[in-house]
Amino acid sequence: MADRYVCRECHRVQDNPEADVCQACGSSSLTEDWAGYVIITHPEESEIATEMEVTEPGKYALKVR
């Protein structure tokens, strides 16, 4: 997964590595410089999602540079 892009704004891991914009928030600020990720399936029940301010299910990077 190291060659996948992550949005610097919402930290969402992009499913399409060739995308120019974030599929979740529309930001064009994508990076390959990230580490670790978490899969959130039920954000309304997740303490981690609350801490990360995530409201949609998906894969999110833990550290984005």
How do the domains of the chain map onto residue ranges?
Answer: 6-64
Helix (H) or strand (E) holding 7: strand 6-7
Q: Is residue 10 marked as binding?
A: yes
Q: Is residue 23 marked as binding?
A: no
pLDDT surpasses 60 at 2: no
Q: Is residue 5 marked as binding?
A: no
Q: Which fold has domain 6-64?
A: Rubrerythrin, domain 2 (2.20.28)
Q: What digits encode the pLDDT tens for the residues 12-60?
A: 999 887 889 999 999 999 999 999 999 999 999 999 999 999 999 999 9
Which pTM does this prediction carry?
0.88
Q: Are 49 and 43 in contact (CB under 8 A)?
A: yes
